[in-house]
Amino acid sequence: MKAFVKFEVSPETESKILEIIESATAAKGVRKGMNETTKAIERGVAKLVVMAENVEPEEILVHVPVLCEEKVIPYAYVKDKLALGKAAGLTVPTSSIAIVDAGVKASLLKEVVSNLPTVEKAVEKQEKKPEAVKEKKPKKETKKKEVKEPAKEKVGEEQKE
């Protein structure tokens, strides 16, 4: 198994994923290729990211699962990059795609996403995020107060002289 592949996808799930990609391609809701996939993940518009397992060199996809987990976006794998490219409407292989609109297969997308192991991690991260945000706000406020207080003292010293 490649370094970026974190779990196995069953053949039934893989065929459903390819079906969803074909539907999303018809609805113009697919971002094709590594660069477009990465942009969709970073912008938070991807609903599902699909990567091919037989990509060479594998280093080009190593960052994608980590980025997806950080942005709480589900991801999956298919065995062949040529099959992924054909499902996305291309005549050439592609390493990855991002689905931003599943079209008429939106219900099938929800079903597939709910059965992926990445969903459990995503739910855990969403539950942890509000706590981290609450902790950061008070720290920023205290820094602003510290900056304002010394400035007032200098003004008072200048007026005395």
Whole-Å CA distances, 105 to 10, 24, 26, 57: 19, 8, 11, 32
Is the pLDDT reported for residue 131 higher than 80?
Answer: no
- Three-state DSSP at 54 gives coil
What is this structure's pTM?
Answer: 0.70
- Three-state DSSP at 53 gives coil
Residue 158 binned pLDDT confidence (cut-offs 50, 70, 90): low
Give the class (CATH, top level) of 11-116: alpha beta
Q: What percentage of the chain reaches a pLDDT higher than 70?
A: 70
Domain ranges of the chain: 11-116, 130-161
- Report the candidate in 128, 59, 68 with the shortest Cα–Cα distance to residue 95: 59
Distance between CA atoms of 14 and 87, rounded to whole angstroms? 11
Strand boundaries in 53-130, DSSP class E? 75-78, 96-99
**63-83 residue pLDDT tens:** 888 898 888 999 888 888 899
Distance between CA atoms of 88 and 120, rounded to whole angstroms? 27
The distance between the two most distant Cα atoms of the chain, rounded to a whole number of Å, is 83
Burial of residue 45 (CB within 10 Å: 0-12, 13-18, 19+) is middle
